[in-house]
Structure 1
């Protein structure tokens, strides 16, 4: 019997990268919800099914560079927030040979999402109401949604959906869309201002009627040691 360090990887095992992209866009009622772009598979296996943007990892390319490159090629997006999510490598996740996928997730602003390439083989869909996707991509999106909804409670990532400056109402709208529940405006304002991560810009939102709301920006260097209590969510079954 060979020793552990003598076992070689099977030649049929291939390494790929995929990316789950989230953007806030209005649904049919005008309410902002999380959307993600999908690409249609143009070759076997699972020809014609929708899937996450991705591709094979060349031997001479770094993982994050490969994720960014495949996003540009398929959706014309170049997200500023791109982070490694998880590695999916179950033996039977892809027919015809084992495929290990390093999955990234990206958050983009709505105006950037509106400029993304769309067509017969690229479309945006609400992330919580996906069709049946190729391979295990439904499970991957479910995991990414769980991570986003957990992380937004204790990490300052909501600003990735917004511009450099924003109002508290715009920020609350992001949280409500991600968490899928309304938040009390007064409690939200008190909690976020007490976190020490927001700074007034000294400016107000232009064009707003009556008394224009203040504009804020994130200041991660001023974060206090006291973190907000995260909302506990059950992790999706793997």
Structure 2
């Protein structure tokens, strides 16, 4: 498992380095590049599970063989929760402390709040962008490892269930605070599980969960609009 985590983090960091490098050298938009790279990653996974890594005993379904016992993240005691939950909580706490109390974390936050002020203060903005993109890729790959090794115990196309877009909602709900990200994650995880139960019991469409997530995001954005701006009625000088 430590080797799997290390290799996943290294591969994810290298994957995150690509859009960061293109942003620095070619001034590309990292949002567009990362969205396009998602489809490249999907095609690579499809090539593997439909081809060289396909399990011969899968009756034609695109998936790898089930992982060995040593490559599976075990459950916590007799509960139905895996140690992956502990991974997420510990990593979230570490990065909250890192952002809040370390000098590098302060520089990252300052650069995110005001790029021009950060450059004027001598903060190495370009290097910070590179570091953050690499760390983000490594953490995303770590999360993918936990999903593959603690939930389905194999690789298959359905492993990508739109978690990246849900993560955007989580980040907005948490206001980019690593501590509150844990709270928002539990909220949306409960929503996903609840919608899956409704699909079985009440035949609710699968898109229902996405609709609720979208409404939550719109509500948060609207709340931010009303708290950041106010309507002021301008009056002419002679009316004052």
TM-score of the pair, normalised by structure 1: 0.23
Greater relative contact order (Cα < 8 A, sep 6+): 2
More helix by share: 2
Higher strand fraction (1 or 2): 1
TM-score (norm 2): 0.23
